[in-house]
């Protein structure tokens, strides 16, 4: 088992109080598994991704255990996490490609990064260049400034750099959103390729675009308002989802082949709750067509079929 997360709870400290952004998340990732993490804005997916590697100033670790290959990961201690970052757990944050220092050449940037980790650049250089070629870029790119590269090229560089030390776990946060459609395909396929070549072990791909996940993920986990709704194999989530939110979400996605005049899709009326004082129990119950009295208790995240977990009382009932 590669990654195991138990009851991870992380809040944000704000002037008005604590925002309960992530509540009791428990799930596992197998070796080599690419899990897509999907949900709408404010659902907590970026919080979950970040809490596994770096707690920002406003984040507060409340409770929970994270284990990587059996070893406990001290996510509550930013300094202890230094050892894990980049080597064991790596992240490609959103907007990474626009966050490159515009005054440093690419090669210098990589050298500085590697050396800041206490490693010798010359030992890694060969492998690094090999990988740069692998993603169809030439070595010359090391002598260029970020502004000279296109979006696709930058994203590829970011991917090579983040996985240079063959991390156990890679967290990719919205890495395809800002790209053109053809570049998106290339980058997404590259992610899978990296996994196949064992440049990384398992991966969490965070995005709001479920159709990309369909193309590259082995499993998909859906979140809503800080709680886990459902996790399961890709086909199960897309074709036979069990959580009412997942069902409504999937059915609201326009696809080529569906026309308004022939088949009207429906959305989910209402909006997500504010997480400063979230509703007790299941946070989807105010918008859920199936909610009933039991939903005032937080539903446990249970395995209803092999590898398929749901956090919903009704779904569990129907499966028994």
Pick from 63, 258, 303, 317: which binds another protein (CB under 8 A)?
Answer: 258
Q: Is 2 in the site for another protein (CB under 8 A)?
A: no
- Tokens representing 71 are 């070893």
Sheet holding 34-38, edge to edge: 89-92, 169-173, 202-207, 34-38, 219-224, 227-233, 308-310, 302-305
The DSSP bridge partners found for residue 65 are 6
What are the DSSP calls for 265-305, one per residue?
-----S-PPPSSSPPSS-TTTTT-TT--GGGGSPPP-EEEE
Site string for another protein, 117-156 (x = CB under 8 A): ---------------------------------x-x----
Site string for another protein, 10-29 (x = CB under 8 A): ---x-xx-------------
Which one, 93 or 152, has the nearer CB to another protein?
A: 152
Which one, 128 or 284, has the nearer CB to another protein?
A: 284
The DSSP bridge partners found for residue 173 are 206
CA proximity to 110, closest of 148, 174, 150, 159: 159
Scanning 100-108, 161-169, 262-270, 289-297 for contacts with another protein by CB under 8 A, the matching segment is 262-270
Q: Is 116 in the site for another protein (CB under 8 A)?
A: no
Which one, 52 or 55, has the nearer CB to another protein?
A: 55
Q: Is 160 in the site for another protein (CB under 8 A)?
A: no
Q: Which helix (H) or strand (E) holds 192?
A: helix 181-196
Site string for another protein, 214-253 (x = CB under 8 A): xx----------------------xx--------xxx-xx
Which one, 8 or 223, has the nearer CB to another protein?
A: 223
Q: Is 188 in the site for another protein (CB under 8 A)?
A: yes
Q: Is 180 in the site for another protein (CB under 8 A)?
A: yes
Pick from 122, 257, 289, 306: which binds another protein (CB under 8 A)?
Answer: 257
Q: Are 311 and 243 in contact (CB under 8 A)?
A: yes
CA-to-CA distance for 192 and 187, rounded, in angstroms?
9
Which one, 111 or 234, has the nearer CB to another protein?
A: 234
Q: Is 189 in the site for another protein (CB under 8 A)?
A: yes
Q: Are 233 and 217 in contact (CB under 8 A)?
A: no
Minimum distance from CB of 208 to another protein (Å)? Answer: 7
What are the DSSP calls for 31-84, one per residue?
TT-EEEEE--TTSSHHHHHHHTT---TTEEEEEEEEEETTEEP-TT-HHHHTTT
Minimum distance from CB of 168 to another protein (Å)? Answer: 26
Minimum distance from CB of 42 to another protein (Å)? Answer: 9
Q: Is 254 in the site for another protein (CB under 8 A)?
A: yes
DSSP class of 149: S
Q: Are 278 and 225 in contact (CB under 8 A)?
A: yes
Which one, 253 or 280, has the nearer CB to another protein?
A: 253
Scanning 111-119, 127-135, 163-171, 206-214 for contacts with another protein by CB under 8 A, the matching segment is 206-214
CA-to-CA distance for 294 and 299, rounded, in angstroms?
9
What are the residues binding another protein (CB under 8 A)? 13, 15-16, 40-41, 150, 152, 180-186, 188-189, 208-212, 214-215, 238-239, 248-250, 252-261, 264-269, 271
């Amino acid at each position: 088992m590669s990654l195991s997360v138990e009851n991870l709870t992380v809040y944000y400290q704000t002037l008005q109080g604590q925002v309960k952004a992530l509540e009791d998340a428990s799930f596992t990732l197998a070796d080599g598994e690419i899990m897509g993490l999907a949900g709408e804005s404010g659902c907590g997916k970026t919080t979950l991704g970040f809490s596994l590697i770096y707690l920002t100033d406003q984040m507060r670790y409340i409770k929970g255990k994270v284990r990587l290959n059996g070893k406990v990961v001290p996510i509550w201690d930013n300094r202890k996490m230094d050892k894990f970052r980049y080597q064991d757990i790596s992240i490609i944050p959103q907007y990474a490609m626009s966050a490159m220092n515009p005054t440093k050449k690419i090669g210098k940037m990589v050298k500085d990064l590697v050396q800041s980790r206490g490693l010798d650049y010359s030992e890694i250089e060969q492998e690094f260049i090999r990988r740069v070629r692998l993603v169809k870029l030439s070595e010359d790119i090391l002598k260029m400034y970020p502004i000279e590269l296109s979006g696709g090229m930058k994203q590829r560089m970011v991917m090579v750099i983040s996985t240079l030390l063959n991390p156990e776990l890679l967290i990719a946060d919205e890495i395809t959103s800002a790209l053109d459609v053809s570049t998106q395909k290339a980058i997404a396929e590259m992610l899978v390729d990296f996994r196949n070549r064992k440049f990384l072990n398992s991966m969490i791909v965070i995005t709001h675009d479920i159709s990309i996940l369909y193309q590259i993920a082995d499993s998909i986990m859906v979140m809503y308002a800080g709680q886990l709704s459902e996790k399961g194999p890709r086909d199960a989530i897309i074709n036979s989802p069990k959580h009412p939110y997942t069902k409504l979400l999937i059915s609201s996605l326009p696809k080529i082949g569906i026309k308004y005049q022939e088949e009207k899709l429906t959305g989910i009326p209402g909006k997500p709750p504010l997480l400063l004082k979230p509703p007790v129990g299941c946070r989807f119950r105010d918008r859920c067509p199936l909610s009933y009295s039991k939903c005032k208790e937080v539903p446990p995240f249970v395995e209803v079929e092999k590898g398929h977990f749901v956090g919903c009382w009704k779904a569990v009932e129907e499966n028994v």
